[in-house]
Amino acid sequence: MIRALILTAVAAILALSAPAQVQAAPEPSPVPTRWQLDLRPGPLRIATVIDETGLPRAYFYLTYDVVNNTGHDIFFAPSFELASEDGEIRLAGKGVPSVVTNELLARLRDPLLLDQISMATAGELLQGEENGRSGLVIWPADGLKVDEIKVFAMGFSGETRTITKPDTGEQVTLRKTLMMIHETPGEITGKGDRPLHRTSQRWILR
């Protein structure tokens, strides 16, 4: 009897001292519950461009196509973020001089390709393949010794979910986002304009 009581007490102590189970990150619905645009991202690349100071500087860039097959016109205001393993998150376009954007547009030789400002001010995205748009997003490539780079594309889905943070009780709204993960082992300055290897691409809530 005494031995059983001791074992029960030990089990209770171990249960209390064990770390709390980590709550799984919420996933978007397997079937879209709100409008969702047809996003077709191109590869992530790195280019060296002479900036406004007259010095060469490296930039990440990505092109994409988007088509509205939702059944109604959509107000379209996309945004892209780039995150490296050092934890820094960079918003596309921030710290990118117009001379760099113009140079990359000239290199790509696509008269229909829109930079971020032109895309944001182009108005509603009309329905149909014939009304699709092509965009260019750019980030300064300040840290080049990384093993993994993630790109997050937002504004392509209307699906959201409100959750409560278990540690603070704060309510936050998560938005359906396309996450693209790229493998970049070691120094990537020698990549030139070759695409970085994309290891995965999936929708998440973020």
Q: State how many domains the chain has.
A: 1
Within-domain flag for 40: yes
Does residue 14 sit within a domain? no
Distances (CA, A) of 60 to 81, 91, 146, 187: 11, 12, 13, 14
Whether 148 and 77 have beta carbons less than 8 Å apart is answered as no
- Tell whether 3 is covered by a domain: no
Number of helices (H), then strands (E), belonging to the chain: the values are: 3, 10
pLDDT at residue 194, as a whole number: 79
Amino acid 8: pLDDT = 44
Would 12 be classed as within a structural domain? Answer: no
On whether residue 1 sits in a domain, the answer given is no
Print the domain residue range for 135.
25-205
Residue numbers of the chain with a pLDDT score lower than 70: 1-25, 143-144, 186-192
pLDDT tens digits, one per residue of 142-167 = 866 788 999 999 999 999 999 998 88
Rounded distance, CA 58 to CA 130, Å?
34
pLDDT at 147: 87
**Residue 167 lies inside a defined structural domain of this protein:** yes
Predicted pLDDT at 1: 47
Alpha-carbon radius of gyration of the chain: 23
